[in-house]
């Protein structure tokens, strides 16, 4: 039904048609480059307009606003910012491998600084850009009407250079996108020559010449698999890594970053590194600054004295844009249709295009030569009859009559007759006559050459090769981007964490932390120590472990369950007085469970065992291999009676002895070999018979030649030779270990040590002391005494405080 000028239509069909028209407009006229000249429409119009203005590389610069206005008014009826942005990008040496516009003024920077306004900057064509416009006036390409049909613009530029691959391209169309990396022109020229000679060659052969993308910002490409995939299929993932080296600044190690991956913002990279250092996700950096200048890029990352430079560099690669991926999608317009192309297909399209350009240029030149030769033939003939010709002209009424008379008299063509009429009298001299004859002879040679060229396509391909060799000689440059045959090394977390001695503490209320061991300096025995952890009311430090950041920590609960954490997974607190992190945020300990033992492990040897002891005197031996992969939800390590609790766990071998100590001062030593190896989820056997009210507080591995250090809750302690503890059978009552009285308080732990070991004690109020087990001056050290003694003061405590944990290392 039609009412007046209104015609109802189906909105679904209208949407389909309109959106398809829009999509094709974006694809063909905006976002995708042409495979022949590698340009999008706006880029092509800018270069053509600049050429039309005579802005060659050796002419004065013109204001950018002048250029933008020319492009907008004649060819590109869109926003001025889109034109200026496109021109700016073509002038940036960090965006284009071979900039096509020579800019003067602020055209932006690798730090993403915006360019100056177009009224301030100036520009002209770069010398290499003129190779895109060579022979454009020789009918080499087709022209089409501009937007208002008042002018014509080229549909493509007669490019001598393979610009699509040379400078790459990126753009998002509708339903598709292109992302083509830049390449080295010298390599592309070699590949073009090889492909002309070997049209059936494969990608591997072409990669002998085109080794990979060549980004203007340099960097290093890791591996060649992504390159091969991109060149074979048109799609692939290329990993680019910043170029950095390790050096020194003021006798301290430093990392110097001199090249960054393509399209990475240097300023944002520096800020990101600073944030990671602040958040302690990257450790070991003491200072960071950007020293880049006109001479080149230089970001200096100074390291702490104890930092491992390679590990810091690995962390930077993993956590920042110092390593990025470039996803190749070589999508371009071929005969107006979007198509994903391989390396060979892109080069083949360019070679065919150059063949066509040379053919059209030769046809144009041949026609011009023949036209000129035709005129020269007439002039030659006229010079032989010059007197008669002059008479005919003098006797003619006007120019038209003279032309007709010449045609009738001498059988000249109209064009020849007109040329004779236009002949200047000075050309009648004998010298000028010879010039005409010489020019005619040269033209005949040129005509013969062009006719021969057009009849032999292989000779045209030879010219394409000559052009490529000429371009390589004129514009070839060394590669900016290195290619490493070694692919990406996926760093594990431990590869990024430096080895460091740390102190891990866990409070009664479940707050855990790790701090560098060197924050606690050595003291003589009897010191008060320094604050190692602030404690809230009703909270106290429960455990202390001296570990390496790469160690595995097994956490045992009172109910016999075990959880596993790598030491570096525990948040690092730079301050020794920080509270730490709730353990429930790291391992899923339930509300009715609490951590009662922590075991530090460096590895899981097949011939080693895990011993677990309970406060009721039970013990169990299990192969350490059963704990190599503790799942995140934990495992059952020991089956316990309801009234019993797991209190200690140690790693041992079959030939060692085990030493258990009780709260009331008893101990027992017996061989590990007396224990039968049992399955993980089973229960234990009797290790020591306890008196009423007593319980096991610690367990350690013993062997002859060592010492036993025993510490009580009131800060008393002593060393005793292990030989004073007789080897017994398990399930006995043991022997006295420490004479417990009110002054000493109950035993906290007995540890097996050597004379060179150190000991750390921590109190319930968070005070920590670090002591050498045996010092050169006996008055400062811990004395060696018998078993049934009270020991000496090893830690001075404030009133109401008590020792809660002992660690040796």
Catalytic residue positions, numbered: 120
CB 790 within 8 A of CB 716: yes
Distance CA 80, CA 83 (A): 5
H helical segments located in 338-456 = 343-384, 386-394, 399-410, 414-421, 430-454
CA distance 74 to 164: 25
Residues 646, 660 contacting (CB under 8 angstroms): no
User: 3-state DSSP call for residue 248?
Assistant: strand
**Bridge partners for 793 per DSSP:** 716
Q: What stretch of H or E contains 472? A: helix 457-475
Beta strands (DSSP E) in 476-551 are 482-484, 501-507, 511-516, 522-523, 530-531, 541-548
Q: Apex CA 486: angle with CA 483 and CA 492, to 5°?
A: 125
DSSP 175: S
Identify the helix (H) or strand (E) that includes residue 489.
none
Beta strands 152-154; 735-736: pairing state? unpaired
Cα 62 to Cα 103: distance, rounded to the nearest angstrom? 10
Say how far apart CA 614 and CA 568 lie, in whole Å: 29
Q: Look at residues 740, 759, 752 and name the one whose alpha carbon lies nearest to residue 663.
A: 740
Q: Distances from the Cα of 793 to the Cαs of 163, 279, 642, 718, 720, in angstroms?
A: 82, 41, 38, 9, 15
Residues 188-207 as b or e (16 or more Cβ within 10 Å = b): bbbbbbbbbeeeeeebeebb
SS3 of 362, please? helix
Cβ neighbours of 368 (radius 10 Å): 15
């Amino acid at each position: 039904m039609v009412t007046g000028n209104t015609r109802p239509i189906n909105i679904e069909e209208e949407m389909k048609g309109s959106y398809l028209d829009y999509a094709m407009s974006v694809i063909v006229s905006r976002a995708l480059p042409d495979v022949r000249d590698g340009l999008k429409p706006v880029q092509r119009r800018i270069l053509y307009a600049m050429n039309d203005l005579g802005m060659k590389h050796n002419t004065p610069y013109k204001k950018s606003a002048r250029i933008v206005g020319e492009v907008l008014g004649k060819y590109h009826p869109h926003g001025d910012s889109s034109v200026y942005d496109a021109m700016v990008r073509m002038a940036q040496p960090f965006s284009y491998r071979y900039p096509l516009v020579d800019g003067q003024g602020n055209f932006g920077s690798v730090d993403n600084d915006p360019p100056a306004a177009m009224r301030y900057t100036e520009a002209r064509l770069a010398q290499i850009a003129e190779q895109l416009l060579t022979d454009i006036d020789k009918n080499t390409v087709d022209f089409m009407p501009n937007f208002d049909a008042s002018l014509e613009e080229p549909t493509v530029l007669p490019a001598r250079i393979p610009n699509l691959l040379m400078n790459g391209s990126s753009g998002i169309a509708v339903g598709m996108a292109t992302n083509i990396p830049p390449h080295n022109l010298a390599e592309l020229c070699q590949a073009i020559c090889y492909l002309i000679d070997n049209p059936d060659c494969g990608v591997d052969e072409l990669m002998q010449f085109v080794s990979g993308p060549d980004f203007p910002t340099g960097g290093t490409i890791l591996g060649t698999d992504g390159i091969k995939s991109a060149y074979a299929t048109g799609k692939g993932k290329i990993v680019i890594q910043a170029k950095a080296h390790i050096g020194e600044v003021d006798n301290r190690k430093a990392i110097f970053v001199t090249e960054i991956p393509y399209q990475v913002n240097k300023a944002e990279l520096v800020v990101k590194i600073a944030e990671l250092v602040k958040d302690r996700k990257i450790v070991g950096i003491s200072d960071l600054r950007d020293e880049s200048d006109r001479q080149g890029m230089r970001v200096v990352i100074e390291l702490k004295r104890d930092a491992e430079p390679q590990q810091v560099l690995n962390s930077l690669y993993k956590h920042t844009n110092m390593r990025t991926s470039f996803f190749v999608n070589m999508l371009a317009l071929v005969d107006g249709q979007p198509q994903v192309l391989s390396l060979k297909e892109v080069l083949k399209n360019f070679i065919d295009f150059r063949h066509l350009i040379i053919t059209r240029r030769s046809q144009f030149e041949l026609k011009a030569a023949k036209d000129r030769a035709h005129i020269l033939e007439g002039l030659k003939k006229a010079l032989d009859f010059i007197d008669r010709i002059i008479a005919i002209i003098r006797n003619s009424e006007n120019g038209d009559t003279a032309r007709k008379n010449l045609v009738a008299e001498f059988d000249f063509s109209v064009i020849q007759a007109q040329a004779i009429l236009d002949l200047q009298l000075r050309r009648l001299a004998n010298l000028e006559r010879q010039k005409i004859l010489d020019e005619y002879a040269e033209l005949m040679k040129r005509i013969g050459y062009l006719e021969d060229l057009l009849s032999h396509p292989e000779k045209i391909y030879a010219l394409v090769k000559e052009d490529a060799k000429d371009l390589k000689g004129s514009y070839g440059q060394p590669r900016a981007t290195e290619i490493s045959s070694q692919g990406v090394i996926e760093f594990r977390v431990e590869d990024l964490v430096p080895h460091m001695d740390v102190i891990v503490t866990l409070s009664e209320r479940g707050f855990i932390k790790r701090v560098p061991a060197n924050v606690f300096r050595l003291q003589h025995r009897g010191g008060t120590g320094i604050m190692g952890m602030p404690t809230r009311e009703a909270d106290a430090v429960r455990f202390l472990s001296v570990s390496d950041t790469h160690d595995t920590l097994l956490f045992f609960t009172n109910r016999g369950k075990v959880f596993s954490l790598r030491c570096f997974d525990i948040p690092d607190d730079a301050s020794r007085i920080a509270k730490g992190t709730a353990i429930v945020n790291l391992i899923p300990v339930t509300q009715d469970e609490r951590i009662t033992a922590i075991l530090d492990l460096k590895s899981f040897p097949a011939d080693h065992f895990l011993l677990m002891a309970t406060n009721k005197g039970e013990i169990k031996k299990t192969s350490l291999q059963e704990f190599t992969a503790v799942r995140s939800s934990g495992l059952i390590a020991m089956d316990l009676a309801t009234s019993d609790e797991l209190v200690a766990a140690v790693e041992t071998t079959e030939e060692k002895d085990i030493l258990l100590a009780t709260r009331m001062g008893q101990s027992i030593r017996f061989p590990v070999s007396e224990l039968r190896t049992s399955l993980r989820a089973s229960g234990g056997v009797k290790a020591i018979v306890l008196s009423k009210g007593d319980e096991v507080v610690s367990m350690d591995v013993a062997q002859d030649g060592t010492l036993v250090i025993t510490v009580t809750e009131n800060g008393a302690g002593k060393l005793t030779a292990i030989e004073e503890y007789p080897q017994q059978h398990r399930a006995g009552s043991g022997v006295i270990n420490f004479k417990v009285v009110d002054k000493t308080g109950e035993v906290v732990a007995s540890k097996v040590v050597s004379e060179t070991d150190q000991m750390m004690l921590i109190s319930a109020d968070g005070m920590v002391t670090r002591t050498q087990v045996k010092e050169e001056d006996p008055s400062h050290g811990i004395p060696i005494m018998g078993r049934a003694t009270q020991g000496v003061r090893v830690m001075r405590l404030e009133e109401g405080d008590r020792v809660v944990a002992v660690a040796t290392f």
